[in-house]
Amino acid sequence: MKPSKKILIIGGVAGGASATARLRRLDEHAEIVLLERGNEISYANCGLPYYIGGEIANKSALLLQTPEAFRRRYHVDVRVGHQVMSINRTDKIVTVKNLQSGDEYAESYDKLILSPGAEPLHPDGFESERIFTLRNVPDTLRIREFIDTHKPKNAVVVGGGYIGLEMAENLHRAGLGVTIVQRADHVLAPLDFDTACDVHRHIESKGVRLLLDNTVQAVVEKDGRLEITVKDGEQLVAEMMILAIGVRPDGSLAKQAGLQVNARGAIVVTENMLTSDPDIYAVGDAVEIVEFVAKQKDFIPLAGPANKQGRIAADHICGIDSKYTGTQGSAILRVFDMTVATTGLNERAIQDVGIDYEKSFTWSASHASYYPGAVNMAIKTLFEKPTGKILGVQITGYDGVDKRCDVIATAIRAGMSVFDLTRLELCYAPPYSSAKDPVNMAGFAAENILTGKVKTFHWHDIESLRQEQNIIFLDVRTQMEYDNGSIDGFVNIPLDDLRSRLGEIDKSKRIYVTCQIGVRGYAAARILTQNGFDAYNLSGGYRLYHSIFGPKTSVTRPSIPAASEIKVSGKALVIDACGLQCPGPIVKLSAAINSVGDGDIIEITTTDPAFCSDIEGFCRRTGNQLLETNSHKGMLIAKIRKGTKHLETTNEPVHHGKNFILFSGDLDKAIAAFIMANASAALGRKTSIFFTFWGLNLLRKPKKVRVSKDFLARMFGWMMPRGSTRLPLSKMNMGGMGAKLIRYIMKRKNIDSLEDLIASAQSQGVELIACSMSMDVMGIKPEELIDGVQLGGAAAMLAHAEESDMTLFI
């Protein structure tokens, strides 16, 4: 039988393979030719990083279809290793090159579908066999082979998008030390900065270094390593680099054929996926789409849309009027054991299109908190004012994040509002959800705002509110929570005491309330409002604020002895605080500590992420010793030894340490201190440098860090040198000329710069301790310090002095 029509498809993966299969199902008599320049079709791009990390063990698992199986199943002429070089629209033929033989031939078509995808950006100056991009199976095999043969110890991943983070995780899993360099102030562009802060903390807690607000300026390959200079001046050394800085739609064939493409090079299509030629369709990563919520033209390369568009193009060719109604950017990612999901618009996109909107932050358990294993998720809901139409959502957490994001993605498709979310009846039994599902809770919080039950303020309002006279900041958490950490300037009246202490609050002032996650703050705001106060609740509460402004985990973690150093004598008490919200775990721990003897060990398991920072503060304050913390899938396990009297080790310690106290902020003195510290570390001596007052300046990051500060602290910050590169000389500084001269001479004489000395000291294990009291006085926040610095007080310094046979004050 003569074929009904001849259809060529260019590109045999997501969009192309999907179109091909649908075409055959709809038209048994069409002649279908699938042209793919690679050697595989229909492979799992999305699984490629997991093969590199070893989680997907067999390469064959990545190949969803072999050309032969596809040919057999769909009776399609599949030609792999065949690249389409050009399209002649007048004669309706394409020129194809057989990449194996080099021969070129013409192939005619009645209908043509383009699904050429998008190509990774690879700027000039990044050429080396140690630099990789990841798009397809050959790229994957190249990376894997490099790791297997060269056994690199470390890697730099440039770009903190989906592919960058997946690669970082998988390289880490493959045993490499990983640094991510990300241009923006946060990873994952579809998220907002505030939501991404949880992700930053999680990535760093796994030992991956994250350089935000930074870019790679230059890469030089030298002695089998890459020397990478980043924008803030630091030089990284790595054995391999992954470039994951984004993709560009591959509209080259279309452009060459005179089809309409946009400024970005993406092919312009109709709702039926037709290009500007009535016989040519285009689908997938190569096309311009309409963003579903704001109805703006956009470029959102994702596998789901590509597959659906392939199906729509096939339908239209076969006479079915299927339409593509837009991409809403529903995406999900596993970041180590955390899950991050998003759908719809983020805040920046909403502001760009000028929609009047509000947002709420909720914090809900994945299932009934009394049923074992409940873990919390943070939901940021963005909605239009006053309609409540859902504009977007971002969720970070562990179990159940995917389910909630999918429910809200569906609600967005259906044009639903946050009021509708309060009415959704979702499946509930304790192991799966709560009677009020996290989706309902997001709806309730948003509804309370829109109906005026509560006025809210946000984390980014606090700085400007501080400048106002007529306000009171009120923290309604318990005394214990408040003592463990609070926002500067907030006074504490626990919620349960609030009614009886209303008389202490000045009614002529506006009251800005916070609690841990926003729930008790809401209750407090209701009490206050109904008693004639003008009250506002901090959305997301202290938890969110701390996630954004709190010190990095790696900076504040106390020096916890290695597990092998922990000498457990006495009984260990195991307590389960899973599902309890703050302050539940701390209260339970406190009771447990009271029930055991000095020196006993308590092991507590909790699902409250705030516990990680709470426990450190709690142990510091109460004189108990934090021995160990581990986290997995949202569960945090901490071991604590009761009492200030730590058990003696069996061997008498030998005191050969060297203890430096760097008070000066002068370049020459700092160089001298670091030269001695490096020498001491090289001799195998335990070495520490305690930075106090002006000495703190050389620990400051060279770039401004977004932190909340009062006026005086900001002024101090402006006046003091930001980081080691800006230190003056103690003598003959000559407005900075002297310092430059010294640096020049040192370079000429091949002497390490101060920055090299600091890096070398850190890599040799020299402990850098910033004096927390001086930091407080000078208004320096932990986030402003370079990575790897611990905070400590005079006690920490004295402890080091006692373990040393030399203390030098510089």
Q: How buried is 792 (Cβ within 10 angstroms: 0-12 exposed, 13-18 middle, 19+ buried)?
A: buried
Among all chains, which residue has been given the structure tokens 């004012």? Answer: 385
* 21, 24, 49, 408: which one binds ligand FAD (CB under 6 A): 49
* 53, 67, 117, 551: which one binds ligand FAD (CB under 6 A): 117
**Binding flag, residue 445, ligand FAD (CB under 6 A):** no
Which distant-in-sequence residues (6+ apart) come within 8 Å of 776 by Cβ? none
Select 305 or 723, whichever has its Cβ closest to ligand FAD.
Answer: 305
Nearest-angstrom CA–CA distance, 329 and 790 = 40
* 228, 230, 238, 306: which one binds ligand FAD (CB under 6 A): 306
Nearest-angstrom CA–CA distance, 549 and 785 = 13
**Binding flag, residue 56, ligand FAD (CB under 6 A):** no
Minimum distance of ligand FAD from residue 485's CB (angstroms): 36
**Binding flag, residue 555, ligand FAD (CB under 6 A):** no
> 3-class DSSP state for residue 308?
helix
Select 126 or 132, whichever has its Cβ closest to ligand FAD.
Answer: 132
**Binding flag, residue 116, ligand FAD (CB under 6 A):** yes
Q: Which stretch binds ligand FAD (CB under 6 A): 110-118, 379-387, 529-537, 642-650?
A: 110-118
What six digits make up the tokens of 486?
Answer: 């609070």
Q: Which stretch binds ligand FAD (CB under 6 A): 53-61, 134-142, 541-549, 694-702?
A: 134-142
E strand residue ranges, 539-684: 572-577, 601-606, 625-632, 635-641, 657-662
* 134, 155, 382, 727: which one binds ligand FAD (CB under 6 A): 134
Minimum distance of ligand FAD from residue 32's CB (angstroms): 15
**Binding flag, residue 396, ligand FAD (CB under 6 A):** no
**Binding flag, residue 107, ligand FAD (CB under 6 A):** no
**Binding flag, residue 11, ligand FAD (CB under 6 A):** yes
Minimum distance of ligand FAD from residue 786's CB (angstroms): 32
* 67, 160, 190, 284: which one binds ligand FAD (CB under 6 A): 284
CA distances from 145 to 53, 163, 465 (A): 12, 19, 55
**Binding flag, residue 327, ligand FAD (CB under 6 A):** no
Query: What does the DSSP 8-state code read for residue 466?
Result: T
What is the torsional sign of CA 336, 400, 459, 484?
negative
Annotated catalytic residue: which of 46, 318, 427, 515?
46
Size of the site for ligand FAD (CB under 6 A): 33
CA distances from 362 to 365, 442, 732, 734 (A): 10, 6, 57, 55
Nearest-angstrom CA–CA distance, 380 and 358 = 11
**Binding flag, residue 249, ligand FAD (CB under 6 A):** no
Select 103 or 652, whichever has its Cβ closest to ligand FAD.
Answer: 103
* 8, 14, 32, 238: which one binds ligand FAD (CB under 6 A): 14
CA angle at 413 for the pair 327 and 15, rounded to the nearest 5°: 35
Among all chains, which residue has been given the structure tokens 């490499």? Answer: 176
Strand 376-384 to 390-397 pairing: antiparallel
Q: In 3-state terms, the chain is what percent helix, strand and coil (to 5)?
A: 35, 25, 40
Minimum distance of ligand FAD from residue 741's CB (angstroms): 49
**Binding flag, residue 253, ligand FAD (CB under 6 A):** yes
Q: Which residue is nearest to ligand FAD (CB)?
A: 284
E strand residue ranges, 385-427: 390-397
Q: Please, what is the angle between helix 541-549 and helix 193-205, to 10°? A: 70
If you write DSSP's letter for every residue of 514-543 in order, what string do you get? E-SSSHHHHHHHHHHHHTT-EEEEETTHHH
Minimum distance of ligand FAD from residue 334's CB (angstroms): 9
Active site residue 46: yes
What six digits make up the tokens of 708?
Answer: 């909340």
CA angle at 89 for the pair 85 and 91, rounded to the nearest 5°: 100
Select 146 or 459, whichever has its Cβ closest to ligand FAD.
Answer: 146
* 26, 64, 184, 303: which one binds ligand FAD (CB under 6 A): 303
Sequence length of the chain is: 810
**Which one, of 381, 397, 244, 382, lies nearest residue 333 by Cα?**
397
* 8, 30, 35, 640: which one binds ligand FAD (CB under 6 A): 35
**Binding flag, residue 728, ligand FAD (CB under 6 A):** no
* 23, 32, 84, 112: which one binds ligand FAD (CB under 6 A): 84
Q: Which stretch binds ligand FAD (CB under 6 A): 32-40, 443-451, 465-473, 573-581?
A: 32-40
Minimum distance of ligand FAD from residue 226's CB (angstroms): 21
- How many CA atoms within 13 Å lie on the side-chain side of 800? 24
* 24, 37, 172, 552: which one binds ligand FAD (CB under 6 A): 37
**Binding flag, residue 80, ligand FAD (CB under 6 A):** no
**Binding flag, residue 775, ligand FAD (CB under 6 A):** no
CB atoms within 10 A of CB 77: 13
Select 163 or 775, whichever has its Cβ closest to ligand FAD.
Answer: 163
Active-site positions read: 46
| Interacting residue ranges for ligand FAD, rule: CB under 6 A | 10-11, 13-16, 35-38, 45-46, 48-49, 83-84, 115-117, 134-136, 163, 250, 253, 284-286, 301-304, 306
